[in-house]
Structure 1
């Protein structure tokens, strides 16, 4: 009798393990592609230019989707990802700031 109970317990555990694996795979299929956040109107961005506190600070995205920064002026940022904005800022600020 104990042998049967042990086999049933092992079978239940195996079924649970396979269920978890299948659920995990389904979740990866559904949620696997994580979309990067896109900047929207009224977002508050914290811009940090290392070594230049005068160029760093919080900047709110305007109702037109633009921000205004020292040196580079007005930039349209609505719809950009944080990575895209970072790349754009490096390009623009790189024209004025040397490493």
Structure 2
């Protein structure tokens, strides 16, 4: 039980780090005009997810034709089409 609590806490902290990294990446891209503020993911977009301390999840993910990404450790596809970066982070937190 204790080991599971530590694992979940670690995952939660790591997901907060993801939010920070993704926010920084989007802000940097927006500054050069690539990504508009409040951008919502679309089919065939590619996103980069970083989970600190877990190389299993850290990777690039393509949004498939159904609007989903497949993330290791999450058994079902995660629907991300139409979501902003912060909404994706929230969905991942809930599923992990």
- Cα RMSD, aligned residues only: 1.4
List per-residue Cα deviations over 1:40-79 (Å, max 9, x = no partner): 0000010111110121100000011111011113011100
Displacement over 2 Å in runs of 4+: none
Residues 10-89 of structure 1: matches in 2 within 5 Å?
Answer: 35-72=37-74, 73-89=76-92
Count matched residues.
60
Distance 2:93 2:46 in 1: 19
Q: Which is greater in Rg?
A: 1
SS at match of 2:77: strand
Distance 2:55 2:61 in 1: 14
Where does the alignment leave 5 or more consecutive residues of structure 1 unmatched?
1-33, 94-99
Which of the pair has the greater relative contact order for Cα pairs under 8 Å at 6+ separation? Answer: 2
Where does the alignment leave 5 or more consecutive residues of structure 2 unmatched?
1-35
SS at match of 1:78: coil
